C-alpha cells in the first residue's frame, strides 16, 4: 500500500485519537444518518462518503483492529500475517519479505518500534530483541440502517466480522402472534418471519444476510435483536406476562369476582377476601408463548384504589365503618424504637 493510500480514520469520523468508544459511536451515527443512501438516493458522492465512514468505524470501533491501526498505520491489515519464503507482501512492489518471519517483524523494523528484528536465517545482525504481538478474535460493529414504516436498524456487535446485528421493534401483538416483516438491506428486499413468543432480548438469526467479506466474498449472518414496545396494560417479567388490576376497598375486604383481560380475551377471576394491594394472582397458561411450546403464566397484580368522589350515603357508611372498626393494621409499629 502506497503512503498516498493511507486513510486517517479518526479524521474521517471527526474524532481525536484518544476518543472513547462512545464518542466514536456517536460521531459515526451522526455521519451515517447524514450520508446514508436511503437519505441521499442516487447521490454517488454521499454513497462514497457513507462507505468511507463505515470503513473507518468498522476499524476503530473494534479494540483489536484499532490497536493494530494505531500501531501499524496504513499496514494494519497485514499485521500478524505471514509471507511465503521469497514472496512479496500485498501492495509492496517487489520487496523481499523472505528475511522476515512475519509481517509484524517487517513493520516493527520499518517503524523502529523494537530496535530491529532478527530476520529468519540470520541474514541481518542488529540490536535485536524478542517480542510478541498477540492477536485475538475481535468483534466488528457494523451499521446497516434501513428506515421504513416498520422499524429501523441500529448498530450492534456480534462475534464474526461478517455477521451483523440490528434491533427490531415489535408491538406486543406482533410478538405474541408472530409476524412477517419486510425491509431492505441496501438494494435487497427480504422477508423475515418472526415466530410467536419473541420478547425483548430475543435474537433471531437470518442466515446469509450479514456483511460481505471483501476478501472471500462470503456473507455472514444477520442477527435481529427484539425490543418490545411498551404496552398500556401488559408488561413482561421473565417468561411471565404481568398486568395490574385496580379493585375497590370493599372488594379487597369481602372478596369479589372480577373480569381480567388476557391475550385471548377477558377471564373471570375470584378475589379472595382480605387480598392485599400488590399481591399477585397467577393465571396458569394464560401468559406468553414459550419457545419449548405451550404458554407461560399471567400474573395479575392487585392495586386497591379508594374512591375519590363519594356520594353522601357512601360517606356515611364509611364513617360508620370507621367508628366500629376493630382492626388496626399499624398496631405492631408501637414496638419500634431507635
Tens-digit pLDDT profile for residues 289-322: 998 889 999 999 999 999 989 999 999 999 999 9
Model confidence at 171: pLDDT above 70: yes
Task: Assign 152 a pLDDT band (cuts: 50, 70, 90).
Answer: very low
What letters, b where the CB count within 10 A reaches 16 and e where it falls short, cover 255-293? ebebebebbeeeeebebeeebeeeeebebeebbbbeeee
CATH superfamily of 235-324: Urease metallochaperone UreE, N-terminal domain (2.60.260.20)
Global confidence as pTM: 0.51
Residue 1's pLDDT is 46
- Kindly state the percentage of the chain with pLDDT values over 70: 73
DSSP letter string, 257-305: EEEEEETTEEEEEEEPTTPPTT-EEEETT-SPBPTTSSB--EEEEEEE-
Q: Count other C-beta atoms under 10 Å from residue 202's C-beta.
A: 18
DSSP letter string, 8-76: -HHHHHT--TT--HHHHHHHHHHHHHHH-TTTSTT-HHHHHHHHHHHHHHHHHTSHHHHHHHHHHGGGG
Which whole number is the average pLDDT over 133-147? 30
Give span(s): CATH 2.60.260.20, the chain: 144-228, 235-324
Which whole number is the average pLDDT over 60-80? 78
Alpha helices per DSSP H over 74-135: 103-111
pLDDT in tens, 189-200: 888 999 999 999
Cell of 338: 431507635
pLDDT in tens, 83-121: 444 444 444 444 554 455 555 555 555 555 444 333 344
CATH superfamily of 3-111: DnaJ domain (1.10.287.110)
Q: Please tell me the class of the 144-228 domain.
A: mainly beta
Cell of 218: 462470503
- Counting every residue written for the chain, the total comes to 338
Q: How far is CA 59 from CA 69, 121, 181, 251, in A?
A: 8, 34, 31, 63
208: helix, strand or coil: coil
Phi then psi for 65, rounded to 5 degrees? -65, -40
Give span(s): CATH 1.10.287.110, the chain: 3-111
- Side by side, the strands of the sheet bearing 222-228 are 164-170, 222-228, 203-206
Q: In whole angstroms, what is the distance from residue 284 CA to residue 289 CA? A: 12
Give me Rg for the CA atoms of the chain.
Answer: 32
pLDDT in tens, 13-50: 998 888 898 889 888 888 988 888 878 888 888 888 88
Amino acid at each position: 500500500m502506497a503512503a498516498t493510500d493511507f486513510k486517517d480514520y479518526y479524521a474521517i469520523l471527526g474524532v481525536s485519537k484518544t476518543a472513547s468508544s462512545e464518542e466514536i459511536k456517536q460521531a459515526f451515527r451522526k455521519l451515517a444518518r447524514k450520508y446514508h443512501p436511503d437519505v441521499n438516493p442516487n447521490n454517488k458522492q454521499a454513497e462514497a462518503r457513507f462507505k468511507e465512514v463505515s470503513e473507518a468505524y468498522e476499524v476503530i470501533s473494534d479494540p483489536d483492529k484499532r490497536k493494530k491501526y494505531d500501531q501499524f498505520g496504513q499496514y494494519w491489515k497485514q499485521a500478524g500475517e505471514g509471507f511465503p519464503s521469497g514472496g512479496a507482501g500485498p501492495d509492496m512492489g517487489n520487496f523481499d519479505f523472505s528475511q522476515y518471519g512475519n509481517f509484524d517483524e517487517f513493520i516493527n523494523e520499518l517503524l523502529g518500534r523494537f530496535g530491529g528484528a532478527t530476520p529468519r536465517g540470520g541474514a541481518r545482525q542488529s540490536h535485536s530483541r524478542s517480542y510478541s504481538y498477540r492477536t485475538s478474535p475481535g468483534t466488528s460493529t457494523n451499521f446497516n440502517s434501513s428506515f421504513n414504516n416498520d422499524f429501523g436498524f441500529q448498530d450492534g456487535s456480534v462475534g464474526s466480522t461478517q455477521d451483523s446485528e440490528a434491533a427490531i421493534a415489535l408491538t406486543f401483538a406482533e410478538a405474541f402472534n408472530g409476524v412477517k416483516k419486510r425491509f431492505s438491506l441496501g438494494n435487497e428486499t427480504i422477508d423475515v418471519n418472526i415466530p410467536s413468543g419473541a420478547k425483548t432480548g430475543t435474537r433471531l438469526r437470518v442466515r446469509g444476510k450479514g456483511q460481505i467479506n471483501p476478501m472471500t466474498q462470503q456473507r455472514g449472518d444477520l442477527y435481529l435483536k427484539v425490543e418490545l414496545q411498551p404496552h398500556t396494560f401488559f408488561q413482561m417479567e421473565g417468561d411471565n406476562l404481568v398486568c395490574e388490576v385496580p379493585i375497590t376497598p370493599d372488594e379487597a375486604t369481602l372478596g369479589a369476582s372480577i373480569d381480567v383481560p388476557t391475550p385471548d380475551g377477558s377471564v373471570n377471576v375470584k378475589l379472595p377476601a382480605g387480598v392485599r394491594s400488590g399481591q399477585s394472582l397467577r393465571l396458569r397458561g394464560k401468559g406468553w408463548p414459550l419457545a419449548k411450546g405451550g404458554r407461560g403464566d399471567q400474573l395479575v397484580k392487585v392495586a386497591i384504589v379508594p374512591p375519590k368522589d363519594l356520594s353522601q350515603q357512601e360517606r356515611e357508611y364509611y364513617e360508620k365503618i370507621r367508628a366500629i372498626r376493630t382492626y388496626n393494621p399499624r398496631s405492631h409499629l408501637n414496638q419500634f424504637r431507635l
